[in-house]
Amino acid sequence: MIKASTAGFIFLITLAVPQATFAGPEEDRRAFVAYFETRFPDVPFAEFANGIYAIDQNARDQWLDIEEFPPYEFAVEQGASLWQEKFPDGKGYTDCFKHSENGIRQRYPQFDDQAGEVITLELAINRCREKHGQERLEYGGENMLALTAFIAFESRGNPFNIKVPADEPRALAAYDAGKQFYYSKRGQLNFSCADCHVVSAGQYVRADRLSAGLGHPTHFPVYRSKLGALVSLHQRFAGCIRDVRAKPFELQSTEYRNLEYFLTYMSNGLEVNGPGARK
């Protein structure tokens, strides 16, 4: 416990040094991966895509039983139907997402240099709808979750390959904002994301163990058994912020999109395996 906490503290101090000291995001990612590979030496890199099931065998056994009849399969089927629908102008989602047959999820989030902001998959879906005269879907709503569940399912096996263009200062600023969010303490409990999922990864909170931050975005949206429903990555962000007794941001806020940008970049090389099932 002491060794793990000390290593985590040193790691956080290292990443807290001003960005100019380092060459860029790729050095951050390598340090992030190396930390978890050292912390959990018996866990292969690819296994971190499975969250807590990579480090807790009992939980993994239960998860494998659940996956025999996955609780998210109806949402995937619903998403497939929505994906195939045509808009009134005769166009569809495939007209917005080129090369969708090769998978989509692994390419998001991405930085849009024209808009000057991070575009998540959910934001891209609503952009597509607006382009073809349709109303935006509710973030966290049933149809959006079903669509993203289907897209994730169809993208399984594709490794994340998120880009932070070195020649685009706004992209680097968005990445840095997401990084700062991840390591900043907040709320009445004065916790950061990293306090739970870096320093305390693998340790118990009541009856549950905390998952490693490496690989967190790979399996969303996630069916949560205790809620009996799918939740998006941003809904999970909001839940964590509420847990530390802070006020959550709006879904698809700039803060959450930048956080997703940073956290997904940290998971580059891990395969999409969503939608997932969690407690």
Which of 96, 128, 196, 240 is catalytic? The answer is 240
* Cα 12 to Cα 16, 52, 66, 197, 255, distances in angstroms: 6, 21, 35, 12, 20
- State yes or no: is 128 an active-site residue: no
Q: Please, which residues have CB within 8 angstroms of residue 37's CB and are 6 or more apart in sequence?
A: 43, 45
* Cα 86 to Cα 62, 82, 90, 162, distances in angstroms: 40, 9, 6, 29
Alpha helices for 55-168 (secondary structure H) = 57-66, 73-84, 93-96, 121-131, 142-154
| Buried residues in 73-94 as b, exposed as e (16+ CB within 10 A) | eebbebbbebbeeebeeeeebe
The pair of three-digit structure tokens given for residue 250, joined into one six-digit string: 């709006």
Q: Which of 243, 231, 227, 232 is nearest to 193 (CA)?
A: 243
d(CA 108, CA 249): 20
Q: Which residues pair with 118 in a beta bridge?
A: 111
Task: Provide the annotated active-site residues.
Answer: 240
